[in-house]
């Protein structure tokens, strides 16, 4: 379970300009599809339609055959997890940030998620660096570390569907590589939609969709797209 389908989806924010112009694709359960394309092409709009922040103009977005219009916001949020571009943390401990919204999570589960995302050292720290155990100000969390906290949160949530929205775009190359390992871990076995600027970051996707001005310009595996260039 965990199939996402877009069926001939048209969408615009205002009637003067079409944003998505007949988009069809499917992410099969456990599969990975990447949407790449220039800024403004409509990539983030696709993720907003999955969360039903907006309704499609025409066509359908379904999850496991069910129109997202017929799924409650609450169950959508259970089923779909997202690692956003910019992680905003609460001014509370990293551990609290990881466990937020999961009151039933045990301490061991939170610690394991923190381990896997490589933020276990920060678990009792506030994002701005204050250590709540020893009362000392340590290092502030960097952008990459905050991103790993968001990944830990997603590991704990374990949603069947995952959206990675340019999850490493705000980071330098070294940090990006570190995070990629955590992202690979969290996306293993889950239906994953990756939104990316560059083809080079989504080499392993089952299908890559190149979006240009709201239409699918090209699609295929990384190898196929490299050949057609």
Q: Return d(Cα 19, Cα 150) in angstroms, integer.
A: 29
Beta carbon nearer to ligand ADP, 101 or 189 = 101
Using rule CB under 6 A, residue 41 touches ligand ADP: yes
Q: In whole angstroms, how close is the CB of 121 to ligand ADP at the nearest point?
A: 23
Q: Can you spell out the DSSP letters for 36-75?
A: E--TTSSHHHHHHHHTTSS--SEEEEEETTEEGGGS-HHH
Using rule CB under 6 A, residue 77 touches ligand ADP: yes
Residue 33: both structure tokens together: 């599809």
Nearest residue to ligand ADP, by Cβ distance, number only: 101
Place of tokens 């057609």: 228
The stretch near ligand ADP (CB under 6 A) out of 59-67, 79-87, 124-132, 174-182 is 79-87
Beta carbon nearer to ligand ADP, 28 or 159 = 159
Q: Residue 210 forms beta bridges with which residues?
A: 36, 218
Q: In whole angstroms, how close is the CB of 84 to ligand ADP at the nearest point?
A: 6
Residues 127-166 that bind ligand ADP (CB under 6 A): 157
Q: In whole angstroms, how close is the CB of 101 to ligand ADP at the nearest point?
A: 3
- Residues forming contacts to ligand ADP in the complex (CB under 6 A) are 13, 19, 37, 39-45, 51, 77, 81-82, 84, 101, 157
């Amino acid at each position: 379970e965990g199939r996402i389908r877009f069926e001939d989806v048209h969408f615009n924010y205002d009637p003067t300009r079409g944003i998505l112009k007949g988009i069809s694709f499917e992410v099969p359960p456990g599969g990975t599809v990447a949407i790449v394309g220039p800024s403004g092409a409509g990539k983030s709009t696709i993720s907003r339609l999955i969360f039903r922040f907006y309704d499609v103009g025409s066509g359908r977005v379904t999850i496991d055959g069910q129109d997202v219009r017929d799924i409650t916001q609450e169950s959508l949020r259970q089923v779909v997890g997202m690692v956003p571009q910019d992680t905003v943390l609460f001014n509370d401990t990293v551990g609290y940030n990881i466990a937020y919204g999961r009151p039933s999570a045990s301490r061991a589960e939170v610690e394991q998620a923190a381990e896997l995302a490589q933020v276990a050292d920060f678990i009792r720290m506030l994002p701005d660096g204050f250590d709540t155990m020893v009362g000392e100000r340590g290092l502030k969390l960097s952008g990459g570390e905050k991103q790993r906290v968001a990944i830990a949160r997603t590991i704990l949530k374990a949603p069947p569907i995952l959206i990675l929205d340019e999850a490493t775009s705000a980071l330098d190359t070294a940090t990006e590589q570190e995070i990629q390992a955590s992202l690979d871990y969290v996306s293993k076995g889950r239906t994953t939609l990756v939104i990316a600027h560059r083809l080079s970051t989504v080499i392993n996707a089952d299908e890559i969709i190149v979006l240009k001005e709201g239409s699918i310009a090209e699609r295929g595996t990384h190898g196929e797209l490299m050949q057609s260039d």
